[in-house]
Homo-oligomer: A and B are copies of this chain.
Amino acid sequence: MKIGIVGATGYGGAELVRILKNHPHAEECILYSSSGQGNAYSETYPHMSGLVHQTLQPINMNTIKHEADVMFLATPPGVSSELTPQLAVAGIPVIDLSGDLRIQEPEVYEKWYKRTAAPEQTIEETVYGLSEINREHIKKAKLIANPGCFPTAVLLGLAPLVQNKLLDESFLIVDAKTGVSGAGRKASMGTHFSELNDNLKIYKVNEHQHTPEIEQLLKEWHPAMENITFSAHLVPMTRGIMATMYTQIKTNMSGDDLQSLYSEFYQDSYFVRVRPQGHFPATKEVWGSNFCDIGITIDERTNRVTVVSVIDNLMKGASGQAVQNLNIMNGWKEETGLTMTPIYP
């Protein structure tokens, strides 16, 4: 299979290149970029010297549709809204890593993203690619909206509670923390080393565009769910997301009950690892891999549940899950090309 990557010079694109390099069904990768055409990819990313020999190709819709059998879009906001409809017409399956196609209601998209929504028809044809939950839809999909990094960690952490309607629908706090690579490769004051090192920041308080994405799924699973509180923090590390989630439980459940609920819910999901009672994952324990590790506990003093969910934001939070979706779409084993273990330390 010939696989196109639009936006190959960003971090999401580079991670796709890394994964597909060792993917048994990736016959060839074509690397598209809005700049630097003709340059060797290894000039942009010297860590790929000797491993990736391609040069960067221009994003020309006339030729692009004859070159690739499937297209990953790892592009800045707004690009996918334009490219996807054209690729859809040309019959090329698309896995979109940007946020353009995730939100079903245009007005919600436009409120949070502050830009024009993608065409409605495109949105309608798009399947939300949360692999563990939407497998059956993904199998038949041509257009995939790959989930955001925070929503992946949050939704996998909450699905067993919400789908089983166990929590107080009006009480859900998500305190999320991320490494800096989630901000992409573009230099800015906000990602300047001296500003972030040995520092901890909160950002986009109550305004993060991943909020409606999370709420959309929660309400799909359980319409009584109310609006949530979501905060994002920038941690001085390169990779990793941890979502710490606090909710109130409606019924009487013990820690063991919770543990069983989660273990059973994910028993057929290779990439979700539920930790034993009293153990919580650290972000480094999934570093470089496609795992989502989850720890849960209940506090008897307050009857509140704390769920901790960690992922590598560039893997399960972006490119890893995108390849997992490629695998599902093609009927390949879900972990094909994704068997790399976490790297520790």
Contacts of A14 in B (CB 8 A): 344
Cβ contacts A9-30/B at 8 Å (1 or 0 each): 0010010001001100000000
- Are A297 and B341 also in contact (CB < 8 A) when A175-B175, A187-B188 are? no
Q: Please name the residue on chain B nearest to A180 by beta carbon.
A: B193
Would you list which residues of chain A between 204 and 244 have a CB under 8 Å from chain B?
205-206, 226-229, 231, 233, 235-240, 242, 244
B279 contacts A46, C-beta separation under 8 Å = yes
A173 contacts B51, C-beta separation under 8 Å = no
Shortest Cβ distance from residue A241 to the other chain B in the assembled complex, whole angstroms = 9
Cβ contacts A72-88/B at 8 Å (1 or 0 each): 00000000000000000
B231 contacts A306, C-beta separation under 8 Å = yes
Please tell me which one of the listed residues B198, B295, B302, B339 contacts residue A284 in the complex, with CB atoms under 8 A apart: B198
Contacts of A189 in B (CB 8 A): 185, 187
Contacts of A113 in B (CB 8 A): none
Extra contacts besides A47-B344, A233-B242 (11): CB < 8 Å: A22-B340, A46-B282, A47-B286, A48-B341, A173-B173, A180-B193, A187-B189, A200-B283, A226-B302, A229-B302, A229-B304
